[in-house]
Amino acid sequence: MYDLSKIFYPKNVAVIGISFTNDRHPANVIYNKNHLRYPVNVYPVNPKGGILQREPVYPSVRDIPVNIDLAIICVKAEFVPQIIKDCIDSNVGGAIVISGGFSEVGEDSLQKNIAAMAKEANFPFIGPNCLGLYNPANIDSLFLPAERIVHPPKGGVTLVSQSGGILIDQMVNFKDQGIGMSIGVSIGNKALIKETALLDFFENDPNTKVIAFYLEGFDKGEGRNFVEVAERCTKPITIIKSGKTAEGSKAVSSHTASIAGDYNIFSQVLRQKGIIEAIDNNEFISFCESLYFYQKSIGPNIGIITGSGGHGAIAVDKLKEGGLEIPNILDSDKTELKKLLSPSIQNIASLSNPIDLTGSASDIDFLVTVEYLSKIQYLDALILLLLPYLPGISLDLSARISKIAKDYSKPLIAYIPNVDKFEMLVEGFEINNIPVASTVENAVSMAKALYRRR
């Protein structure tokens, strides 16, 4: 097993391939982003040596006077084997090979060469043909300029992506949804370090609470190994996969030289093993968020609270489609709940499931309903469809509901329309570790993830 700790948590980093004439060269972008901006010591490397920004440039990683944890390699493909050898000879901890020009363009022998060399020396590297990694607390080796990347907050979701572009898109989605990222890594052609090795590492990484994968394909036997390792993993895993169709498989092959395999069989095995697969990107983001906020699984019985009958009906349909249940509220519970509601809605609220408090509901009606349903044993989780434009509710309602939810062990998922003026409501939930969806469908997806979790 490879030690990947120095790749993901380095202290001393060599950036190999620095240009003296092109400040937008990937190596320069990576060096400039990390030098004096992250808690790592960064050492530029170019065969000519010299000075860059009043810092010495070293001709080789061999010449750097400290032990290097991570080498980031941004040179032409034909030069990579020698640099890998230099890293091995210098006891570098590991590498990220940004360079393209390997199996994705038919240069299989070159890729096999560096993989064999590294494997023999027990030298781990990620790539080639990858974007790099982002660890908000430590390093940003993505070779895109900082001003062109949206950085999500620090958190507990680690995202492993074969595609660098998908990684960047998901970082935007994480930021929009307030999902904290622990590590984001693009693995490209995964010539040596594959998903299984990363699963083993992140299962033992204390900063990772959820492991998410964007998968394109596996070489022969890799898919089975991935499922076996994932089944043993004690942390929640969610994946989204491309290459589901014949045309998609062809696109995957030309992108990272992966073999997509039989998607239908793979998907069925994932479901049997309790590994949570998202059918689309909206589900994927929702799964990441709910699995991060709630570190346990739930039963299938969901209680719905809404101020709009239409929203409740949509939630019912989607829950049933997802294999979840909407149990009727017992008559005795209806009677007790009715007593707690404002007199103005006692005779117009529908207290079945969904519970429709109507557009005349006020803060107190939502508060007492959430609290009462949190005590009911035959409900496993609650979905709150909160419509901020109801005249009787205030912008601090979410914070007040959060205080109630903290007193009970029942998971609560909120829906709030994605509108800037309602941001205060969203923040009131999220700072209290309650996930918020911007659509009813996404709220249901969050419940599905908790139900499908092992």
Strand order in the sheet with 412-415: 355-356, 302-306, 381-385, 412-415, 436-437
pLDDT number for residue 221: 83
pLDDT number for residue 441: 97
**CA-CA distance, 46 to 54, in Å (whole number)?**
15
CB atoms near residue 435 (< 10 Å)? 28
pLDDT number for residue 266: 86
Give the contacts of 393 (CB within 8 A, at least 6 positions apart): 307, 361, 362, 363, 366, 386
Alpha helices in 123-184 (DSSP H): 164-177
* Distance from the Cα of residue 82 to its chain's centroid: 35
**0.85 exceeded by pTM:** yes
DSSP reduced 3-state for 298: coil
CB 200 within 8 A of CB 1: yes
Q: Is the preceding peptide bond at 354 cis, omega within 30 degrees of 0?
A: yes
Number of alpha carbons in the 13 Å side-chain half-sphere of residue 176: 15
Report which of 306, 389, 386, 314 is spatially closest to residue 352, judged by C-alpha positions: 306
pLDDT number for residue 147: 86
CB 135 within 8 A of CB 8: yes
pLDDT number for residue 243: 65
For each of the domains in the chain, give its residue range(s) and CATH number, in order of start: 1-127 (3.40.50.720), 150-293 (3.40.50.261), 297-452 (3.40.50.261)
Report which of 236, 189, 240 is spatially closest to residue 211, judged by C-alpha positions: 236
DSSP for residue 348 = T
β-sheet bridge partners, residue 443: none
pLDDT number for residue 12: 98
Q: Is the preceding peptide bond at 391 cis, omega within 30 degrees of 0?
A: no
Q: Which two tokens stand for residue 435?
A: 């996930």
Q: φ, ψ for residue 436 (rounded to 5)? A: -125, 130
Q: For every one of its 454 residues, what pLDDT tens digit does the chain have, with 9 covering 90 and above?
A: 899 999 999 999 999 999 999 999 999 999 999 998 999 999 999 999 999 989 999 999 999 999 999 999 999 999 999 999 999 999 999 999 999 999 999 989 999 999 999 999 999 999 999 999 999 999 999 999 888 899 999 999 999 999 999 999 999 999 988 899 999 999 999 999 999 999 999 999 999 999 999 999 888 888 889 999 999 999 999 999 986 644 444 444 444 444 445 788 888 888 888 899 999 999 999 999 999 999 889 999 999 999 999 999 999 999 999 999 999 999 999 999 999 999 999 999 999 999 999 999 999 999 999 999 999 999 999 999 999 989 999 999 999 999 999 999 899 999 999 888 889 999 999 999 999 999 999 999 999 999 998 7
